[in-house]
Chain A
Amino acid sequence: MTDIPLEKQTTSALLYLDGISVSFDGFKALNELSFVIEPGEMRAIIGPNGAGKTTMMDVITGKTRPDSGNVFFEEGLYDLSKLDETQIAALGIGRKFQKPTVFEMHTVEDNLLLALKNDRRVRATLLWQSSPPQEQRIDAILDTIQLTPLRSRIAGSLSHGQKQWLEIGMLLAQEPKLLLVDEPVAGMTDSETMQTAELLKEINKTKTVVVVEHDMAFVRELGVKVTCLHEGSVLAEGSIDQVSQNERVVEVYLGR
């Protein structure tokens, strides 16, 4: 990347959202949102509709520019709020979208190949040759996401759950420092949901993960620190049990 890293800020955090505000013509999607993700942790983000979960993802990945506030990455080396999607991706932030967006016309294998951490420039892709280490890497990922038997299938023909996993696999292939996972189990069966939880835990052994999810059973299954957003800012933070005891959380979820 061409941009010069900022000097190290005094934060040990991998990701540090500092007072982010975003408003779409009047309506405040994010309101002075601040929180910290430590390296290697897994964080679940919950919250009712319109709490700003997806907007937060957009800000981190550069899809939306915040009106105010900064997003510091890697101990404050980079301010993501100044970079565009491509640069941010290149810094090692991978995103899985709410609605699975794999490349339908490509085989499972090619989907991974495209995601594989590699030189993204035109020349490189023109001259690219597959190499044993890369082959092994892909095999390994296929194994993790349990799609080995379907490696040469067209991604478009996969089941919903399989697509979700493929996309998670693509995240892994990017070898990002940080994974942003948006509603990974939406529309999955119970068993698929539980498998996904296992998968994410597995991934978390080596990577930092942020999961946005409504499915409480799933979040409980993950058993990690939970941040509850409401109206664009943090309402409560802590273990799932603490959060679900929290008066205000109960209020926003069960009513006023």
Chain B
Amino acid sequence: MTAFPLIRILDRGAVVFLVLLGAFAIAIPVLNLLAPPSSDLHVSTYLVALFGKYLCYALLALSIDLIWGYGGILSLGHGAFFALGGYAMGMYLMRQIGTRGVYGDPILPDFMVFLNWKALPVYWYGFQYFAYAALMILLVPGLLAFVFGWFAFRSRVTGVYLSIITQAMTYALLLGFFRNDFGFGGNNGLTDFKDILGFNVQAETTRNALLVVTSLALALAFLICRALVTSKFGKVLVAIRDAEARTRFLGYRVEAYKLFVFTLSACMAGVAGALYVPQVGIINPSEFAPGNSIEAVIWVAVGGRGTLTGAVLGAFVVNYAKTYFTSGLLAPYWLFMLGGLFIGVTLLMPRGIVGTYNYWRANRAEKNDAAVPAAAPHAAE
């Protein structure tokens, strides 16, 4: 271990990752804006939006890996935080539409006019200001996670039980947001966005900008996670994952640690959702569907939990596969593959791609009697 945190954070894997991410974030916009559509190098705007979406998923996966891979907390409700962040952003974008809506009401979003609501609900106040929306994007998911976690961890709800109630949580929100009187557009959700910070959300440049911003957010989140897991805090976290009782006997307030990391992770998920909405142009309750949350977990499992880079890789691989297969003759078979993936990974490759690679490298290194880097645990909890 070294005294200089930066070097501590940026091990070889981390540097490689950041370089690749940077290259990606530069190359895509360049190839989209500069390369002539005729050339083979040209990247279509569709692809830009697509990759932007993947980056958001990657960020979500990262947030899940942080709590699952290192804290042993399997949340099946992280989609909820993602969606809440998304809604916060969506509300800002709705307010930006102003009079350009179908009903041209300067204040009320179309769906409210449609439901002939007279006044804007209090909780919509302030969302015309980006700063406020940005704050909410962090605050709302964070607060929910804090309250929820405070209850759960304090009464030592762990393992499967925790997973189930997190799922119940997102399910409850799903039901709620489907209702019109919740004031979030019911099952149509929020859409028809016009512009963000004055830029047209549809414009190519905006899309590229969003992609870059998302990459930055991902990079930042990655650095934060690295800083956490390589710090003593991270070591405590892993200790809790592997031997919770023992950690208590060492005098650590386990619940406090879990609560902190859970809340942080929720905020990250919220940011992911917020960046996701302007790039896909809609947010609706289906984002709360328990299925989404579990799918996000499998991205992490595929990439390799407890590796951070693996989470990102997994998000890209699985979602690319999804895009590829769902948009072709193979569409009907996609769910077979996804399902198979769930089963295959858990049965045959519990360490995931990166995890297995690390493990293999470690074993090779061990023959030269060196240190064994942390491999993914067998069966968290």
- Which residues of A are in contact with B by a Cβ distance under 8 Å? 61, 63, 85-86, 89-90, 94-95, 97, 101, 103-107, 109-110, 113-115, 120-122, 125-126, 128-130, 152-154, 157, 170, 174
Contacts and interface: CB of A to CB of B under 8 A. Distances in A.
B260 A101 contact: no
B123 interface: no
B243 interface: yes
A116 to B, nearest CB: 9
A130 B1 contact: yes
B250 interface: yes
A95 B232 CA distance: 22
B371 A125 contact: no
14 contacts: A85-B249, A86-B248, A86-B251, A86-B253, A89-B249, A101-B246, A105-B241, A107-B371, A114-B236, A114-B239, A122-B233, A122-B253, A125-B231, A157-B372
Nearest to B251: A89
* Contact residues of A: prevailing secondary structure: mixed
Interface of B: 1, 3, 5, 228, 231-233, 235-236, 238-239, 241-243, 245-254, 256-257, 260, 371-372, 374-375, 377
Contacts of A122: 233, 253, 256-257, 260
A21 to B, nearest CB: 23
B3 A106 contact: no
A107 B235 CA distance: 10
B150 to A, nearest CB: 14
Contact of B377 (A105, A126, A153, A154): A105
Contact of B253 (A109, A120, A129, A152): A120
B278 to A, nearest CB: 32
Leading 5 A-B pairs by shortest Cβ distance: A89-B251, A128-B232, A125-B233, A154-B372, A85-B248
Contact of A126 (B1, B233, B242, B250): B233
Given A109-B1, A129-B3, A103 B246 contact: yes
B93 to A, nearest CB: 34
Given A105-B238, A106-B238, A113-B235, A126 B248 contact: no
Contact of A61 (B228, B249, B260): B249
Nearest to B243: A101
A140 to B, nearest CB: 17
